[in-house]
Amino acid sequence: MKAVRLAHRNSKQKIVLYIFFVIVAFFFLFPILWTLSLSLKTIPELFEIPPSILPKTFTGIGNYLYVISNYGITGSLLNSLYITLWTVIGCLTVTLPAAYAFSRMKFKFSSQIQFIILMFQMISPLVIVIPLYKYYSSLNLLNSFTGLITIYIAISAPFQVWFLKGFLDTIPKELDEASIIDGCSRLQTLIKVLIPIISPGVLSSVLLISIMSWSQFIVPYILIDSPAKMPISVRLLNLQSSLTNITTHYLAAASIIAIFPTVLLFVFLQKYIVSAMTAGSVKG
């Protein structure tokens, strides 16, 4: 009897969940579907009344060709990937040890220092970009990926320190002690024991850092001069319709291209999160 009731309850739950998933999917997907629709339209179709989600013809594929070959959107995609990769590596290298120290060690001024670090997070990059220009000019870091990567690391580090510390705090200190008794140094403990357990958190961190660096557009615009080095966010913006030119369809096509690698990344990383889960929870 109990089994049947359980099964019944389960299928009711499943139906509710499915409905919820559909609503959620619609809410999040609709703007993107609309962008996709815009990317396949020609200029007259952009302004149709009433609006329709399906383009009339599929000549809009030409928009993608234009954006890739004439506008060179893929070059800027590569730039963004390169910058993001090094920002992630640099940021994690710098913040994981710091998060460990704040989580595991009790020392004087610990909470004050943490708060000061948080204060850096409260300063918007857009404001520091003006003095940053002069400063980087004197450091000869203008118009270079290195300059951009360093400032991105500096911008995302405060957030990540607090964030990763939060995850580390969920792991009981007994685990550390066990591994030190086993003969590991603190560093080894961090790398071999703790990080794998909080790997979902580290992964989320990777995603957060990537998104942050992907979205910046004021900072790279001010610091970089050469069109070949511009990341994709800036190049996307340039496809906005200007006073004298209608380019919404190109902007839509470029946006879809820009989302493509990140969606790919998400899809693959998810499987990693899941497999990391089962490994991590067994240890707990």
Partner 1 sequence: MKRTLCLVFIFVFLTSFIFSGCGSNNQAQTATTSGNSSTQAEASSTQNAPTANTKIIVTPQLIGDPDAKISISWLPKDGLDTPNKAVATYLADKAKAWVEKNPDVKIIPIAQTVNIQDAMAKLMVQVAAGNAPDVSGIDSFLVSKYYGYLQPVDDILKEKNIPLDSWFPFAQNVMKPKDKILAMMFTTDVRLFYYRKDLIQTPPTNWDELITTAKQMSDKGNVGFLYPAGRNETTSCDFLPYFWSQGGKLVDDSGNPVFNQGDNKTYMLNALNFIKQTIDEGISPKRVSTFKADSDMNSEIASGKVAMFLGGNWLAKQVSDIIGTQQFSDLWAVAPIPMKAGASRTTTSGGWTLGIFTDDEQKRKLAADFVISLYIDDEGMAGYCSAYGLLPPRKTIYDSAEPFKTNTVFQQCKEELEYTTIRPGASIYNVISQDLQIALSNVITGVSTPEKALDEAWNDVLKQKDAQKQ
Partner 2 sequence: MLPSATISAATRKKSLSYGLWRISQGPVLWLIPLALVLVTFFLYPALEVVRISFTNSDMISNTYHYTFNSYIRMFTDASFYNMIWITFFFVSFSVIFQFLLGFIIALTVDKGEHLRMKGTVVARTVALVSWSIPGVVIGIIWNILYNESPSGIINYLISFVGIGPVPFFTSPVIALFAISVANVWRGTAQSMILLYAGLKTIPMDVIEAANVDGANSWRKLLSVIIPSIRPVIVINILLNIINTFNTFDMIMSLTGGGPGRSTEVLVLSSYTTIFQLLDLGKGSAIAVLLLLINVVMSVIYIRISKEGVST
Which residues within the stretch 215-234 sit at the binding site for partner 1 (CB under 8 A)? 218, 221-222, 224-228, 230, 234
Site membership for partner 2, residue 4 (CB under 8 A): no
Q: Which does 258 bind (CB under 5 to 8 A by kind): partner 2, partner 1, none?
A: partner 2
Nearest approach in angstroms of CB 7 to partner 2 is 11
With CB under 5 to 8 Å by kind, the binding choice for 117 among partner 1, partner 2, none is: partner 2
Burial class from Cβ neighbours inside 10 Å (0-12, 13-18, 19+) for residue 55 reads buried
Q: Of 108, 107, 205, which is closest to residue 156 (Cα–Cα)?
A: 205
Q: What's the farthest any 2 CA atoms get from each other in the chain?
A: 78
**In the bound complex, what is the minimum distance in angstroms from residue 139's beta carbon to partner 1?**
12
Residue 131, both tokens: 């003095």
Q: Which does 27 bind (CB under 5 to 8 A by kind): partner 2, partner 1, none?
A: partner 2
Listed in sequence order, the DSSP H helices in 170-217 are: 173-181, 186-188, 195-197, 199-215
Calculate ∠ Cα 220-264-151, nearest 5°. Answer: 20
Q: Which does 144 bind (CB under 5 to 8 A by kind): partner 2, partner 1, none?
A: none
Cα separation values, 241 from 45, 96, 120, 139, Å: 15, 43, 35, 36
Choose one: 89-97, 107-115, 174-182, 271-279; the region binding partner 1 (CB under 8 A): 271-279
Q: Which of residues 241-270 bind partner 1 (CB under 8 A)?
A: 241-247, 250, 261, 264-265, 268-269
Site for partner 2 in 47-86 (CB under 8 A): 47-51, 53
What residues contact 16, with CB distance under 8 A and at least 6 apart? none
Applying the rule CB under 8 A, the residues between 34 and 73 that interact with partner 1 are 43-44, 46-49, 66, 68-73
Question: In sequence order, what are the residues at sequence separation of 6 or more whose Cβ sits closer than 8 angstroms to the Cβ of residue 36?
Answer: 252, 256
**In this structure, are residues 152 and 86 in contact, taking their beta carbons and an 8 Å threshold?**
no
Q: Does residue 165 bind partner 2 (CB under 8 A)?
A: yes
**Is residue 154 a contact point for partner 1 (CB under 8 A)?**
no
Supply 126's token pair: 């857009």
Whether 153 contacts 87, CB under 8 Å? yes
CB of residue 197 to partner 1, shortest distance in Å: 13
Q: What residues numbered 117-136 form the site for partner 1, per CB under 8 A? A: 130, 133-134
Among 64, 86, 162, 250, binds partner 2 (CB under 8 A): 162
221 binds, among partner 2, partner 1, none (CB under 5 to 8 A by kind): partner 1
Helix/strand/coil (H/E/C) assignment for every residue in 260-279: HHHHHHHHHHHHHHHHHHHH
- Give the pair of three-digit tokens for residue 166: 């939060």
Q: Which residues bind partner 1 (CB under 8 A)?
A: 43-44, 46-49, 66, 68-75, 77-78, 81, 85, 130, 133-134, 137, 142, 199, 218, 221-222, 224-228, 230, 234, 237-247, 250, 261, 264-265, 268-269, 271-272, 275-276, 279
